Structures are given as C-alpha cells and as structure tokens.
C-alpha cells in the first residue's frame, strides 16, 4: 500500500488545522463511519469529526479504584480538513501485548506514531496509550484508522506470554568484538553487559547539552549468541522518529515508550525505548539498522547548530 501520510512539522499541522476550522467541513462523515467501523460525531464549532471506541472490555482497577471508559479508557480518532488535505489525530488505549502489533498496523498503513506512554499508576492490567497522526487522502486515512481499530479488537484480551528464557548478566557469554563489528562501534563490556553509546547534542537556554546530560542513543545486550536480550533508548531529531520506528518494528523489536526527556531544546530531540529477545547477531543487526536509518552510526560530533 502506498504511503498516504507525509511527514509534517508541528507548525504546518497546526496551520492546516486552523484553516480547516475556519471553513465548513467537507468531510464525508458517512464514509469515515463506514471505513473505521465506528459512529462518529461532528463538532460544528471546530469542524472536526471524531470517532470513538470505549474500551469497555477492559476491567481496570488502580488501588481499589475501578477505572471506566469516561475516565480515560476510550480510543479515538479525529478528522479535520477534506479530501487530499485531511488531517487525523488520535489516541489508542492498549493492553501491553497490543502495543507493538497495533503500532505495526499503524506504521504499515501510512500513519505516524507520535507518542507511547502511560496515563495511570498501579493499574491492573497495565494500560498504555499510543498517539497517532497523519495527513493525506481522507479515504486512505480512514481506511488506515479502521485497520488500527480492527487490530485492537482482534487482539483484545490477550495475555502476557510466560517468560521462559533464562537470561542473566551473570551468565553472559557474548563476544564484545563480534558486537563491535556489527554495530560499527566500540562498546563497553562490564558486569556481563555489553553497552554502546552514541552522544548527540542540542541547546537549552543557549547552553549546549550532550551525551553526559542524557542526550544519547544507547543499546545494551546480555546473554549468549543463541539466546540474548537487548534494550536501549534512541535519541532522534523529529524527522528521524518515524523511519527508525518502522525499521525496528520491521525487525520485531518491541517499542516500549515514545516521549521527550526535555523541554525547550533546539533542535527538538525525541526518545523511544525498546527491548527484544533473540540471537545476539539478529538483535545487533536490527539495532544497527535503526542506527543507519537515523544516521547515528559513528555519531560523536555535535548536531548542526
């Protein structure tokens, strides 16, 4: 399926939304209902058509408090504009096991995934929230959103798989030189953990902040050649986020969170955390693919001022 969503800056997105709100809606709301499988509602003032899907299938309790859909457990997608200049934004309520399958459907169908985080503490089951967005053809966007909602319905009620791998840093037998060769970097190997870090820089309040202030991409591996575990964090410019997400999800790397670590920095840096299990070679090659897409291999010098 061809890409239907062009990467847009936040400013361009807001300008387009403002233009859409100023004119009568030309959205085909009946078609949106049909393609998303949901019944929406038009806000006459903002000229935004919103479809919602309450997660009434979830029985969420947080420290003896029952959380219901009106308290924040409702997935939604809102459309503005018309025809080839339609914008969609939304928030998907997901169980842990749903996050990465649903994310892959969104990315594979031309939507952007812009954030992944929690809204509650101490809840059971754990609930995650994945924000989506896109701009393009109204019909194609509605089809993509419909597939996201369909995947949520399909995977609802899944249970976490039992942990069967016995992977412990104390028993790591990985060869650091093999990992260096794959990643194209010289990592550190200490206490059974191989770790490679790539510093980047940005500016906050006129001050350069970099690697030691937490502006870095890193990856850590433990285990053996045949049974390994990787986790880490990517630090990216905004235009790098979607390509890196697609690359890692295409290699079955699980994305855990997408967010920012700072505010007011220039250029803006986005972060996402990940983890996966597999052979050491496969995991290192998958992460290397993310480095390449994000332009991170060998990054040791500052980003352009």
Q: Which range is least confidently modeled, 48-57, 157-166, 283-292?
A: 157-166
Evaluate whether residue 246 is within a structural domain: yes
130 and 47 in a common domain: yes
Instruction: Provide DSSP, 111-162.
Output: -EEEEEE-S-SSEES-EEEEEEEEEE-HHHHHHHHHHHHHHHHHHTT--PPP
| Arithmetic mean of pLDDT, 75-92 | 95
32 and 151 in a common domain: yes
| Arithmetic mean of pLDDT, 157-186 | 82
pTM: 0.83
176 and 130 in a common domain: no
187 and 136 in a common domain: no
| Arithmetic mean of pLDDT, 271-290 | 96
133 and 18 in a common domain: yes
140 and 200 in a common domain: no
The CATH number covering residue 116 comes to: 3.30.1460
Asked whether residue 20 carries a pLDDT value surpassing 60, the answer given is no
Instruction: Quote the CA–CA distance of 236 and 233 in Å, as a whole number.
Output: 10
Q: At what angle do helices 99-108 and 138-155 cross, to 10 degrees?
A: 160
The number of helix segments (H) and strand segments (E) in the chain equals: 7, 17
pLDDT of residue 2: 39
Q: Residue 131 pairs with which residues in a beta bridge?
A: 91, 115
Evaluate whether residue 51 is within a structural domain: yes
Look at 5 and 205; give whichever has higher pLDDT: 205
176 and 55 in a common domain: no
Evaluate whether residue 301 is within a structural domain: no
- Rg over CA atoms, the chain: 21
Evaluate whether residue 48 is within a structural domain: yes
Instruction: Quote the CA–CA distance of 200 and 300 in Å, as a whole number.
Output: 7
Instruction: Quote the CA–CA distance of 108 and 111 in Å, as a whole number.
Output: 7
Asked whether residue 11 carries a pLDDT value surpassing 60, the answer given is no
Q: What is the count of structural domains for the chain?
A: 2
pLDDT in tens, 60-71: 999 989 999 999
269 and 176 in a common domain: yes
Evaluate whether residue 277 is within a structural domain: yes
**Bridge-based pairing state of the strands 74-80 and 48-54:** antiparallel
146 and 215 in a common domain: no
148 and 23 in a common domain: yes
Q: Which of 155, 181, 211 is the last residue of a domain?
A: 155
Evaluate whether residue 113 is within a structural domain: yes
Evaluate whether residue 160 is within a structural domain: no
Q: Residue 194 pairs with which residues in a beta bridge?
A: 189, 221
Question: Tokens at residue 170, please?
Answer: 């104390």
Domain range for 18 is 10-155
pLDDT in tens, 27-44: 999 999 999 999 999 999
> Which helix (H) or strand (E) covers residue 213, if one does?
none
Question: Tokens at residue 80, please?
Answer: 């503005």
18 and 150 in a common domain: yes
Evaluate whether residue 300 is within a structural domain: no
Cβ atoms of 197 and 218 within 8 Å: the answer is yes
The overall average pLDDT reported for the chain is 88
130 and 243 in a common domain: no
């Amino acid at each position: 399926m061809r890409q239907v969503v062009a990467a847009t800056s936040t400013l361009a997105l807001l300008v387009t939304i403002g233009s859409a709100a100023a004119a009568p809606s030309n959205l085909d709301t009946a078609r949106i209902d049909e393609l998303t499988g949901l019944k929406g509602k038009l806000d006459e003032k903002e000229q935004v058509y919103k479809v919602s899907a309450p997660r009434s299938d979830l029985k969420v309790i947080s420290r003896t408090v029952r959380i219901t859909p009106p308290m924040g457990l409702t997935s939604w997608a809102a459309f503005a504009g018309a025809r080839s200049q339609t914008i969609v934004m939304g928030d998907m309520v997901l169980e842990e096991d749903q996050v990465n399958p649903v994310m892959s459907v969104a990315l594979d169908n031309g939507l952007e995934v812009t954030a992944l985080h929690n809204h509650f503490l101490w809840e059971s089951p754990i609930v995650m929230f994945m924000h989506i967005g896109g701009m393009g053809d109204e019909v194609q966007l509605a089809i993509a959103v419909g597939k996201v909602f369909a995947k949520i319905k399909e995977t609802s009620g899944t249970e976490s798989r039992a942990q069967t791998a016995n992977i412990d840093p104390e028993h790591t037998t990985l060869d650091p030189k093999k990992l260096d060769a794959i990643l194209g970097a010289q990592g550190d190997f200490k206490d059974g953990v191989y770790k490679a870090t790539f510093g980047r820089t940005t500016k906050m309040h006129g001050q350069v902040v970099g690697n030691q202030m937490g502006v870095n991409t890193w990856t850590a591996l433990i285990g053996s050649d045949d049974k390994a575990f990787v986790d880490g964090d990517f630090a990216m410019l905004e235009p790098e986020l979607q390509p890196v997400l697609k690359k890692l999800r295409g290699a079955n790397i699980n994305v855990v969170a997408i967010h920012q670590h700072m505010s007011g920095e220039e250029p803006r840096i986005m972060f996402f955390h990940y983890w996966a299990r597999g052979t050491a070679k496969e995991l290192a090659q998958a992460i290397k693919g993310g480095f390449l897409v994000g332009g991170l291999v060998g990054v040791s010098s500052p980003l352009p001022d």
